[in-house]
């Protein structure tokens, strides 16, 4: 079975020069000839603009598009619109700190050809730290898009977020792209579910992957697809992870309201339960206490945000 034409997309805002160059070098060196796939870079309001500063002359079909609306949702939306307008059959998102294993495209295309029911699929994200990760951070690796596993997962319905591939290194069928664009057109609030500057709200990538289920397609994660996720020291601080957790939980609550009409549960009115939780958090080490308080705020604020959406 012939593989569909592939569009590889990097969305980036003020990228670190060394990290994005490593990501581009890994794409240049893929085992699949560059003439058989297209490359799109979305410059998300970088200052200065990226045009002319990235070395892309090695790729015969590269394009840099500028998206002035800041935020991952807007950047990815621009990429999806381009993919739809060019009738791309398959799209692959690569973050600007992702170094793909040299057979990543080949293996992903093999899956596209051999498993036509796959709508979205990704692989392992193996970390490479700028500095050693502190011990307390290990329990939060999923929030940092660090995923290592040995067995494939392939599902045709939503059975939990752990079965969904993150956008980094995720292949997406053109049919899923088209359906997601229809959903955004019908409800533009979906574009609020994305990181923007220092605001770490998350959820638009999950919404995109879930769209595969809307079409009766499968979602998979495959261990043979491997990429290295470059982790700078700044992402291993309690403040960063606390903000990331807060934004992820808020975004998840907002996404579940949009998709399923779910309203976050009200905080308990039982004073004893609140006291027990406060004491539990107070006894944690400082780093974990900061993150636990961020989780607690997210549970409180998510209900308020959803209520605002209902009233708006």
How far apart are alpha carbons 307 and 65 in whole angstroms?
36
Does one domain contain both 150 and 285?
no
Task: Please indicate, yes or no, if residue 237 is contained in any of the structural domains.
Answer: no
Higher pLDDT, 223 or 278: 223
Answer whether residue 239 is part of any domain. no
Whether the pLDDT of residue 1 is over 60: the answer is no
pTM: 0.90
Helix, strand, coil shares of the chain as percentages rounded to 5? 45, 20, 30
**Percent of the chain predicted with pLDDT > 70:** 94
| pLDDT tens digits for range 32-64 | 999 999 999 999 999 999 998 899 999 999 999
Q: Bin 219: left if φ > 0, else alpha if -120 < ψ < 50, else beta.
A: beta
62 is a domain residue: yes
Domain endpoint, select from 184, 204, 231: 231
CB distance 11 to 72 below 8 Å: yes
Confidence band of 171 (pLDDT split at 50, 70, 90): very high
Do 284 and 154 belong together in one domain?
no
What does residue 14 show for φ and ψ, rounded to 5 degrees?
A: 45, 60
Same domain, 10 and 147: yes
pLDDT at 10: 98
In-domain check, residue 286: yes
Return d(Cα 81, Cα 77) in angstroms, integer. 6
Give 170's pLDDT tier (boundaries 50, 70, 90). Answer: very high
CA distances to 121, 160, 227 from 156, rounded to whole Å, are: 12, 12, 24
Q: In terms of pLDDT, which residue wins out, 83 or 145? A: 83
253 and 220 both lie in a single domain: no
Is the same domain home to 260 and 212?
no
201 and 256 in a common domain: no
Same domain? 82 vs 169: yes
Domain total for the chain? 2
Q: Give 263's pLDDT tier (boundaries 50, 70, 90).
A: confident
- Judge contact between 3 and 110, C-beta under 8 A: yes
Q: What is the pLDDT of residue 134?
A: 87
State the residue range of the domain holding 223: 6-231
Residue 241 domain flag: no
Domain-located, residue 236: no
Query: For the residues 101-120, what does the mean pLDDT come to?
Result: 97
Residues 253 and 225 in one domain: no
Whether residues 224 and 114 share a domain: the answer is yes
């Amino acid at each position: 079975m012939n593989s569909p034409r592939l569009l590889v997309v990097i969305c980036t805002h003020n990228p670190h020069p060394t990290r994005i160059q490593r990501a581009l070098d890994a794409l240049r060196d893929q085992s699949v000839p560059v003439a058989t796939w297209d490359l799109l870079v979305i410059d998300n309001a970088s200052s200065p603009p990226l045009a002319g500063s990235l070395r892309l002359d090695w790729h015969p079909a590269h394009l840099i598009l500028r998206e002035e609306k800041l935020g991952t949702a807007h950047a990815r939306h621009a990429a999806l619109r381009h993919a739809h307008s060019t009738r791309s059959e398959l799209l692959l998102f690569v973050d600007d700190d992702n170094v793909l294993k040299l057979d990543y495209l080949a293996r992903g295309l093999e899956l596209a050809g051999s498993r036509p029911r796959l709508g979205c699929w990704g692989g392992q994200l193996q970390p490479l730290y700028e500095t050693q990760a502190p011990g307390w951070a290990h329990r939060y690796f999923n929030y940092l898009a660090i995923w290592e596993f040995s067995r494939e997962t392939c599902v045709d319905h939503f059975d939990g977020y752990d079965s969904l591939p993150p956008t980094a290194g995720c292949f997406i069928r053109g049919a899923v792209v088209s359906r997601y664009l229809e959903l955004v057109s019908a409800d533009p609030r979906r574009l609020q579910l994305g990181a923007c500057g220092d605001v770490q709200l998350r959820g638009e990538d999950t919404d995109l992957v879930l769209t595969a289920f809307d079409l009766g397609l499968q979602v998979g994660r495959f261990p043979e697809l491997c990429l290295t996720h470059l982790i700078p020291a700044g992402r291993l601080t309690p403040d960063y992870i606390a903000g990331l957790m807060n934004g992820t939980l808020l975004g998840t609550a907002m996404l579940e309201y949009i998709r399923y009409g779910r309203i976050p549960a009200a905080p308990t009115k039982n004073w004893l339960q609140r006291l027990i939780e406060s004491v539990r958090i107070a006894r944690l080490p400082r780093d974990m206490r900061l993150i636990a308080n961020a989780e607690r705020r997210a549970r409180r604020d998510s209900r308020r945000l959803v209520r605002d959406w209902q009233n708006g």
